[in-house]
């Protein structure tokens, strides 16, 4: 079959790879000059089934409410005259019960665990180098109450088969000696030994090149503007460079997917939630972290990536604005100074911000939508790199008429 994949972020590229493996003739269309140049560019790089918690939880309404009055660094919500944001927030609030949070977290976990197994297969098949780090991830707590809450919270993932070790401060620095400078600032942590990390942008571009060498066509610098339909089928994709025809279309347009979906009468519940990231050269190997980690009190993630450290933070409702200012990175710098002082060279930092394509419940939307030959791989949210290989395989299986390897209840548009 001739399949057109819209979007060359990590979701589009992994989808193209799985479809090409199944023997389809694949064309990928993206407005950027290369793959993974939007949300997939500067993320924290964590492959973290151990962080599959859905954001919509019983604690979330209080956090959202407080964020209206405090310019909090972790979550920022300012009221905007945007009906899409209001509607998304209402849908989010409806998912904030204990039971919905449990169900959605377990759905995400299942997809994330499956995705990690597909990632391993792909790495074995392709040998792609992407600054992979398989030392696990440290989830760090600054005080005893937050540590105890973190341990209790983790049970839901542990009971579903995710591995964790509970560590006091001495245990933390055994896993990553670079954190010894944080004595007195950290209480303890959890180590997810099977979690891992790597550079999503590097991986996606290497996979795109490999796909191209196997016959996948990448049509870059081409903006998708709409569709031509006939009856129950999408006949053509319309772009600023002309019509593209195929047998089937998969949409993987990140935070911009709802606009194009709307042109087909599909109401896709995805809204952008902005995040900030900074990439800093390692200043001193002995002082730099060796194991990726998340400061759970300040919600700052850091990931060693080769000779760099990537740090990310903040969930901000700012519409489609991707601007960033120096003060947006204050907490990130403070966390670096607290946890691994002297490890990162902030004088040579590169700053970036982009938009997580979030669904209000957490899991993505996969599979056929409205038209018999139109499929979604959308709404990967804050875990798109983690879930990408699994989502891609699920969509390829659905297109092939095969039953996916995991239960996708709650991830379809039905
Ligand atoms: C600060 C931050 C930290 C994160 N950390 C992690 C992490 O540690 N682990 C993890 O798993 N996930 C993380 N994420 C989430 C992850 O980055 C996203 O879920 C993932 O990148 C989404 O991929 P995507 O392909 O759906 O979107 P994108 O990468 O945005 O790709 C969409 C593509 O569609 C193209 N496009 C859009 N509109 C059009 C159009 N009209 N015509 C043509 N092309 C178009 C764009 O150019 C883009 O290439 C993080 C995100 C942020 C912002």
pLDDT in tens, 149-184: 999 999 999 999 999 999 999 999 999 999 999 999
Q: Do 414 and 371 meet the contact criterion of CB atoms below 8 Å apart?
A: no
Q: Do 142 and 297 meet the contact criterion of CB atoms below 8 Å apart?
A: yes
Separation of alpha carbons 275 and 43, rounded Å: 9
Verify whether ligand 1 is closer than 6 Å to residue 7 (CB atom).
Answer: yes
pLDDT at residue 72, rounded to an integer: 66
Q: What atom in ligand 1 is closest to the CA of residue 260?
A: 41
CA angle 368, 372, 376 (to 5 degrees): 25
pLDDT at residue 73, rounded to an integer: 65
Beta strands in 19-106 (DSSP E): 25-29, 46-47, 75-77
Q: What atom in ligand 1 is closest to the CA of residue 7?
A: 34
Separation of alpha carbons 9 and 35, rounded Å: 6
Verify whether ligand 1 is closer than 6 Å to residue 31 (CB atom).
Answer: yes
Which residue in 11, 393, 34 sits closest to 212, CA to CA? 34
pLDDT at residue 402, rounded to an integer: 98
Q: Do 342 and 251 meet the contact criterion of CB atoms below 8 Å apart?
A: no
Our mutation pick for probing the ligand 1 site, out of 18, 38, 118, counting the most ligand atoms within 8 A of Cβ, is 38
Rounded to two decimals, what is the model's pTM? Answer: 0.98
- Residues lower than pLDDT 50 in the chain: none
Verify whether ligand 1 is closer than 6 Å to residue 313 (CB atom).
Answer: no
Beta strands in 330-406 (DSSP E): 350-358, 365-368, 374-378
Our mutation pick for probing the ligand 1 site, out of 279, 384, 386, 395, counting the most ligand atoms within 8 A of Cβ, is 384
Our mutation pick for probing the ligand 1 site, out of 6, 9, 45, counting the most ligand atoms within 8 A of Cβ, is 9
367: three-class secondary structure by DSSP: strand
Return the number of other C-beta atoms located less than 10 Å from residue 129's C-beta. 13
**For 95-183, where are the alpha helices, taking DSSP H only?**
98-126, 144-159, 169-175
Verify whether ligand 1 is closer than 6 Å to residue 198 (CB atom).
Answer: no
Q: What atom in ligand 1 is closest to the CA of residue 356?
A: 53
Separation of alpha carbons 47 and 44, rounded Å: 9
Q: What are the phi and psi torsion angles at 286 (to 5°)?
A: -70, -25
**CB-based burial of residue 265 (10 Å sphere; 0-12 exposed, 13-18 middle, 19+ buried)?**
exposed
**Dihedral sign of CA atoms 271, 72, 108, 39 in order:** positive
d(CA 246, ligand 1 centre) in Å:
24
Verify whether ligand 1 is closer than 6 Å to residue 343 (CB atom).
Answer: no
Verify whether ligand 1 is closer than 6 Å to residue 256 (CB atom).
Answer: yes
pLDDT at residue 17, rounded to an integer: 98
């Amino acid at each position: 079959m001739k399949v057109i994949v819209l979007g060359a972020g990590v979701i589009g590229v992994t989808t193209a790879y799985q479809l090409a493996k199944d023997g389809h003739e694949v064309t990928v269309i993206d407005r950027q000059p290369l793959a993974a140049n939007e949300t997939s560019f500067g993320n924290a790089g964590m492959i973290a089934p151990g962080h599959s918690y859905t954001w919509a939880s019983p604690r979330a309404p209080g956090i959202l409410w407080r964020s209206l009055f405090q310019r909090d660094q972790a979550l920022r919500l300012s009221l905007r005259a945007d009906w899409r944001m209001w509607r998304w927030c209402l849908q989010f609030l409806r998912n904030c019960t204990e039971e919905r949070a449990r169900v959605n977290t377990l759905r995400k976990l299942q997809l994330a665990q499956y995705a990690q197994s597909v990632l391993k297969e792909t790495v074995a098949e392709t040998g792609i180098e992407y600054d992979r780090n398989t030392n696990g991830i440290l989830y760090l707590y600054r005080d005893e109450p937050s540590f105890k809450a973190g341990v209790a919270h983790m049970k839901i993932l542990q009971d579903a088969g995710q591995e964790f070790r509970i560590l006091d401060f001495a245990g933390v620095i055994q896993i990553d000696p670079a954190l010894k400078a944080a004595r007195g600032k950290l209480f303890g942590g959890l180590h997810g030994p099977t979690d891992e990390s790597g550079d999503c942008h590097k991986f996606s571009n290497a996979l795109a090149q490999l796909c191209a060498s196997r016959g996948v066509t990448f049509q870059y610098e081409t903006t998708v503007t709409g569709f031509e339909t006939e009856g129950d089928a999408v006949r053509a994709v319309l772009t600023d460079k002309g019509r593209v025809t195929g047998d089937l279309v998969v949409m993987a347009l990140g935070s911009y997917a709802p606009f194009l979906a709307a042109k087909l009468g599909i109401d896709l519940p995805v809204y952008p939630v902005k995040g900030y990231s900074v990439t800093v050269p390692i200043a001193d190997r002995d002082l730099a972290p060796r194991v990726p980690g998340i400061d759970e009190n300040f919600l700052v993630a850091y990931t060693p990536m080769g000779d760099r450290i990537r740090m990310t933070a903040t969930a901000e409702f700012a519409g489609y604005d991707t601007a960033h200012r120096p003060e947006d990175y204050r907490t990130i710098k403070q966390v670096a100074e607290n946890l691994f002082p002297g490890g990162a060279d902030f004088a040579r930092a590169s700053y970036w911000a982009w938009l997580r394509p979030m669904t209000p419940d957490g899991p993505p939307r996969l599979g056929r939508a409205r038209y018999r030959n139109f499929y979604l791989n959308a709404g990967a949210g804050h875990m798109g790199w983690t879930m990408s290989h699994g989502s891609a395989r699920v969509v390829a299986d659905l297109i092939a008429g095969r039953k996916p390897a995991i239960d996708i209840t709650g991830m379809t548009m039905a």
